[in-house]
Chain A
């Protein structure tokens, strides 16, 4: 059982703002979905999950985006930089 307070905490972790209506609706829906996922608890196995393997390539210098291309989709740009919100 996931409570409204927990959903709020998760939403804050995920940087997703929810209004009251969304919070209520999501709490109900998340509970029914998580209840379904509880089926996974039945699994009793010593089996190791599949190992992931790192794939590396030579660290060669190749052509990358120009500054103008990299900035082209940014909502706010200043002096060739991305402009973020204030820190202080």
Chain B
């Protein structure tokens, strides 16, 4: 198949689709790049491969909305660092995928452009916030996708859609050009239908960027080369705190069966406890919201963004621009963050959240002194129905219980399919120590090789 045929297949799948996975599709540029690949003018590890990009990542000349009304017409004047890397490797950027507004959500329902749908059951959510990216890859509307993960936003939709997604170590991938939400927690990461493709995309986007002072100059491991390594002799920890009463019994069973599969491959296992995990959800939300209230202060409607027709005084104009430009979940998080940072509450919420973060980080550090990786359910249950949780923000936050601890601890985690509940996929996380992406890809690949849960 030629590159153009491959890209046309994805474009046709998008055109026929009812998933609302994309906000913007770049038909003509995608075809042009594919033709260039066919003419041998593009080379690199991703030459001619159609890649979908979460609409929170800046693409030069291609509208980047963050699924918000305020950025409905925003066209970035530069590429994110990861986009430059993709282009260097010959990737074809096929379009920008739907998401929760400013990545704030777990279902892709808070998008200004309407919810995306789960390819396995269109009445259900694809997960979020990178729901469009996961749905697109699942339904062959792209071969690979980028998402971003602040508290589970890659792993949740990977789990709900039955694909593979990685949240890299904090500092591994440049955030330059990623629209900021919770900047001390978030990373851009890959989504794909197989572990190998996911590892390849990770290798392409990882690496130090002088333009992001939080990206770290450590060598990027050759993850794809070590996929075939034997995993016999490795030891995985089973953090029982991730198997709480809120976790669907069928999800628990699938995860325990997966651990058995790994044991059959020569891996040993040990039950462990992370006692401070009980504070993770509160600590995560306090910190993410505090950072959001500061990061989103820039959307005043003067330099870019939604602007009301008639100006009043500065304060009223800013407030009206923001009130029309932002959806309810974004407003809620800005308010809560502003409150948590305000005089009299800073110590009670923000400082306590930072202390909890340090305690949780130490819990994980102790675990990795004994174990090579940890295995846990990614989500407490399978994909829920559209509209089922959106009216109750706290209930929706609690769905993130197993994903947020990873962001708090800055460590990497790979979500891969490990079972089915009826027609809905179940995902598990393979959690690694700082910079240990190649270990978790290796375990994930060997699991995938020896099971048949992968839908691809």
Residues of A within 8 A of B (CB): 2, 6-7, 10-18, 22, 26, 29-30, 32-34, 36-37, 39-43, 45, 47-50, 55-57, 65, 69-70, 72-76, 82-87
Contact = CB atoms under 8 A, between A and B. Distances in A.
B29 interface: no
B352 A16 contact: no
B303 A33 contact: no
24 contacts: A10-B335, A13-B338, A16-B326, A17-B323, A18-B331, A33-B332, A34-B336, A40-B282, A40-B353, A45-B359, A47-B355, A48-B358, A49-B357, A49-B358, A50-B358, A55-B213, A56-B213, A57-B210, A73-B303, A75-B306, A76-B302, A83-B302, A84-B314, A85-B314
A54 to B, nearest CB: 8
Contacts of A72: 75, 77
Contacts of A12: 315, 319
Given A7-B335, A26-B332, A65-B78, A15 B213 contact: no
Interface in B328-369: 328, 331-332, 334-336, 338-340, 342, 348-349, 351-359, 361
Among A10, A36, A56, A87: residue with most chain B CB under 10 A:
A10
Contacts of A13: 338, 342
Nearest to B397: A33
B304 interface: yes
B376 interface: no
B335 A11 contact: yes
A11 B335 CA distance: 6
B74 interface: yes
Given A36-B281, A43-B355, A75-B305, 10 more contacts: A10-B339, A11-B335, A15-B315, A15-B319, A16-B322, A43-B279, A45-B359, A49-B355, A72-B77, A84-B302
B202 interface: no
Given A13-B338, A14-B293, A57-B213, A33 B393 contact: yes
B285 interface: yes
A72 B354 CA distance: 39
Contacts of A56: 213
Chain B interface residue bracket vs A: 35 or more
B302 A74 contact: yes
Given A49-B351, A57-B213, A14 B335 contact: yes
The 3 closest A-B pairs by CB, nearest first: A75-B307, A49-B354, A73-B304
A40 B352 contact: yes
Nearest to A88: B313
Contacts of B282: 36-37, 39-40
A82 B361 contact: no
Given A75-B307, A87-B314, A41 B332 contact: no
A74 B243 CA distance: 49
A39 B213 contact: no
A40 B356 contact: yes
B227 interface: no
Given A18-B323, A87-B314, A47 B358 contact: yes
B389 to A, nearest CB: 13
B77 A30 contact: no
B394 A36 contact: yes
A56 B332 CA distance: 34
B447 interface: no
A16 B336 contact: no
B311 A85 contact: yes
Interface in B200-218: 210, 213-214
B301 interface: yes
B300 interface: yes
Nearest to B318: A15
A86 B322 CA distance: 18
Contact of A74 (B304, B335, B339, B357): B304
Contacts of B393: 29, 33
A85 B317 contact: yes
B448 interface: no
B286 interface: yes
